[in-house]
Amino acid sequence: MTSSDARELEKRIDFLAATPQAAQLPDDARTAVRKLLDALETGRVRAAEKDAASGQWQAVPWVKRGILLGFRLGEIVDMSLGNGDADIVFSFFDKDTYPPRRLTRADGIRVVPGGSSIRRGAYLASGVVCMPPMYINVGAHVGAGTMIDSHALVGSCAQVGERVHLSAAAQLGGVLEPVNASPVVVEDDVVIGGNCGVYEGTVVRKGAVIGAGVILTRGTPVYDLERQTIHRAEGGRPLIIPENAVVVPGARSIKDGWGQSQGISLQTPVIVKYRDEKTDAATALESWLR
């Protein structure tokens, strides 16, 4: 897709998305959605982009509008798997505009058997490994050499870099609405530990290590012991985990009132250090697994 083609598609999707809900959509609406999903799957367009000058990630609203348009157009159909009504093993009923994405051996993506699913409109680079069961939603972008482990979720429009390890049961939140909401971003060479949650437009910078059980949201302050500061989402900006930060679960005590008298503490992530040779050795990814 050329830049001019992308601009034409953007104009058409913006027009279609602005059509009143009660109005009949034109015949080419499904064609526009199909072109968008094709472009997302090949990486020619993305639901979020990084500004080269500022380094900040921004949502691409027209892409999100196009994805939402697909849900509006879709009709619920039977997507069940099996050899006939008597032999159906898995029953699925979903919008016909968002079936599971079709893959071929030429895609170079390793999907281990066992119940994983990749939705139409998701981009996966060659070399991505999907361990069962995991799920990647529409608009997501996953870079080369990344492993999505068992029970992990890459939510709608989440952006995942190269050589990332998303460990078992980790969750990257999806952000479709509002269309200008900050995306969830995990940059290159990040390790996300088991049972982690990264939500609400959080950005995890390159090389960071998020320890098992850490929860990151816009409302979560992150205490940086190494730099003696607190990282927060302020002024409409997302929560940003610095490059090479090592984050573990922590707690901070309530300082007054009834909570203090009861000895209650609140969960909070803590940056205990920044990556060093010892961290690199502990988090090294085995290339032969991929």
Any bridge partners for residue 253, and if so which? 265
Pair 110, 117: CB distance under 8 Å: no
Any bridge partners for residue 153, and if so which? 135, 171
pTM greater than 0.85 (yes/no): yes
Say if 81 falls within a structural domain.
Answer: no
Tell me, yes or no, whether 117 and 16 share the same domain.
Answer: no
User: For residue 280, what pLDDT is reported?
Assistant: 76
Closest CA to 138 of 114, 150, 154, 115: 154
Tell me, yes or no, whether 237 and 189 share the same domain.
Answer: yes
Contacts of residue 209, defined as CB under 8 A and 6 or more positions apart, other chains included, come to 190, 191, 193, 245, 246, 247, 275, 279, 283
Task: Report d(CA 175, CA 182) in Å as an integer.
Answer: 7
Q: Which uninterrupted H or E stretch holds 137? A: none
Say if 86 falls within a structural domain.
Answer: no
Closest CA to 196 of 246, 248, 236, 122: 248
- Compute mean pLDDT per 10 residues along the chain, 290 residues long, and list them: 90 96 92 98 96 93 97 94 67 94 95 94 98 97 97 97 98 89 94 97 96 95 97 91 97 92 94 88 68
Tokens linked to 36: 């968008």
User: For residue 233, what pLDDT is reported?
Assistant: 93
Q: Which of 42, 76, 110 is the last residue of a domain?
A: 76
Task: Report d(CA 167, CA 243) in Å as an integer.
Answer: 19
Tell me, yes or no, whether 7 and 116 share the same domain.
Answer: no
Into how many domains does the chain fold?
2
Burial label for 190, CB within 10 Å (0-12, 13-18, 19+), is buried
CATH of the domain at 253: 2.160.10.10
Cα–Cα distance list, 248 to 37, 186, 206, 210 (Å): 37, 17, 17, 6
b/e string for 147-172 if b means 16 or more Cβ within 10 A? bbbbbbbbbbbbbbbbbbbbbbbbbb
Pair 196, 171: CB distance under 8 Å: yes
User: For residue 201, what pLDDT is reported?
Assistant: 87
Say if 56 falls within a structural domain.
Answer: yes
Sign of the Cα torsion 259, 271, 150, 177 reads positive
Q: Which amino acid is at 268?
A: T
Tell me, yes or no, whether 71 and 106 share the same domain.
Answer: no
Say if 267 falls within a structural domain.
Answer: yes
Residue 107 burial (CB count, 10 A): 15
Q: Which of 46, 76, 106 is the last residue of a domain?
A: 76
Any bridge partners for residue 198, and if so which? 172, 216
User: For residue 227, what pLDDT is reported?
Assistant: 97
Q: How many CA atoms lie within 13 A of 170 on its CB side?
A: 25
Task: Report d(CA 145, CA 129) in Å as an integer.
Answer: 7
Say if 162 falls within a structural domain.
Answer: yes
Tell me, yes or no, whether 267 and 192 share the same domain.
Answer: yes
Tell me, yes or no, whether 138 and 249 share the same domain.
Answer: yes
User: For residue 85, what pLDDT is reported?
Assistant: 59
Q: Which of 45, 76, 107 is the last residue of a domain?
A: 76
Sign of the Cα torsion 159, 145, 241, 172 reads positive
Q: Domain span at residue 14? A: 3-76
Q: At what angle do helices 3-17 and 29-42 cross, to 10 degrees?
A: 130
Tell me, yes or no, whether 139 and 181 share the same domain.
Answer: yes
User: For residue 283, what pLDDT is reported?
Assistant: 77
